[in-house]
A and B are shown apart, each in its own frame.
Chain A
């Protein structure tokens, strides 16, 4: 309020340089302090929200949606097991899946990559393998999770999200109708080669069977292609591990 008194004389229309500098410095310091306090004070809550968001997304990939906060925490701690593996199929111990930043891992060469894997066991003791995905859309990153059934072939469910795709076009990947298309699709060909699930236009010519394709988004071609690419790139490194654990017990 002292500022008001300082300049309440209406005749000083142009403020002095000294005053201008002081005012600029003052308002910078005040806003900086406010923001610093807000950012630091709210950080624990924001981090908790982020962690919960990851768990929510993982559970959405196995068709568990609309759970309350407490239910998400409970289901996750009781039924999800976090693993970290490498691309030759070995488990890496001593690393928590939550601490791995997928963006950084994808920059590494394939052999050095650490791959988080989430193993969900449902009440009937059926196992689902959930893999994180990350790629690029039109305007920014896109990411998601894909859950495979224990045959390591059939897609049980997916969840995609994006940072800044266009609403109504690319952003449709985060909507249920797009994601539900993936349910029941296969990632392996009949002769047991990895072919992934492709996101392609209805009209496009496609050599593989309908169990390997989902419809792309009209008007969202670049995001659709990004999703297609992301699936192929992020799923393939897990195959070695699946082969390894599938061998001793064919179930």
Chain B
């Protein structure tokens, strides 16, 4: 801890870049205030992109980058944003970032951009991005806001990958495209679960996850 505080920029903040408080901002969204299972944000995309693990990972990375940088920008100009049009300003910043990233990918990483094509629009409409801007970045300094963005993106990604793994394993018998269930199982009559490929399966899995998470974590009892 003391080592970390000396690295921190001394003139702005007294606390270090990775002080206990800041680390909490980063790690809380992974469990205690997970955006999907506790804040119940971004559920729609969690249903849409979790049929396989790979798109889930790509989507999680996209949302993490966008949430982090839009939080940073909004926190930088938070005092200048007129209260009555703050939501529109947030949306403009988010859309700007997403479009810029999309253009850059198309120019320099065309293959990645082809894979992302469907998800770019979904990132703009992801409730987590706006939710965190409104709830956190509007009232915080830039650095914690940035960490909060990363933390929430990762918390979102964690659930996405878990749900994606369950759905891909039971729905297609594979993980990240590698066949895991051997052919002789199919020959003996094993059938992939078709329900797992459909959006409702994600709801069931997220529901089970919330149940398990709350039974394990007493802090979450009676938190809606």
Contacts and interface: CB of A to CB of B under 8 A. Distances in A.
B51 A168 contact: yes
Contacts of B118: 163-164
B134 to A, nearest CB: 17
Interface string B26-70: 000000000000000000000001011011000000000000000
Contacts of B176: none
Interface residues of A, number: 33
A249 interface: no
Interface string A12-55: 01110001100110011001001100110010011001001100
B172 A168 contact: yes
Given A164-B118, A168-B171, A168-B197, A20 B107 contact: no
A66 interface: no
B82 A20 contact: yes
B80 A3 contact: yes
A98 B114 CA distance: 20
A8 interface: yes
A65 to B, nearest CB: 13
A197 B84 CA distance: 60
B152 to A, nearest CB: 24
Contact of B110 (A24, A53, A163, A218): A53
Contact of B89 (A4, A13, A27, A49): A27
Contacts of B106: 42, 46, 49
| Chain A contact residues, majority secondary structure | helix
Interface in A160-209: 163-164, 166-169
B4 to A, nearest CB: 29
Contact of B103 (A4, A7, A24, A42): A42
Interface in A208-246: 218-219
Given A38-B103, A42-B106, A219-B197, A31 B83 contact: no
Interface string B74-102: 00010111111100110011011001100
Contacts of B207: none
Contact of A219 (B79, B81, B194): B194
Contact of A35 (B81, B84, B100): B100
B139 interface: no
Q: Which are the 10 A-B pairs with shortest beta-carbon distances? A: A168-B51, A3-B80, A45-B107, A42-B107, A15-B82, A49-B110, A20-B82, A31-B96, A164-B118, A46-B106
